[in-house]
Amino acid sequence: MLIKAKKNNSGKKLDKKIKEIKPVKVFKSGLHYGKVNWEDDPVEYQNNKRNEWD
């Protein structure tokens, strides 16, 4: 989030705006780690996909 601060803003106004900022929800990737079982080797899969158009 971006807060525009003008020269004439007091410290109290800026503190109030900063406190109004809501925290951003963070994606917890650890919950999904290892859930998908790939049949192919990842490097081999990439090479096959990249050479698909040749």
Residue 51 reports pLDDT greater than 80:
yes
Region for 25 from its dihedrals, namely left if φ exceeds 0, alpha if ψ lies in -120 to 50, beta otherwise: beta
Q: Does 12 or 1 have the greater pLDDT score?
A: 12
Q: For 25, which DSSP code? A: P
- Give pLDDT, residue 54: 63
13-41 confidence digits (pLDDT tens): 778 877 888 778 888 888 888 887 878 88
- Give pLDDT, residue 42: 86
Residue 8 reports pLDDT greater than 80:
no
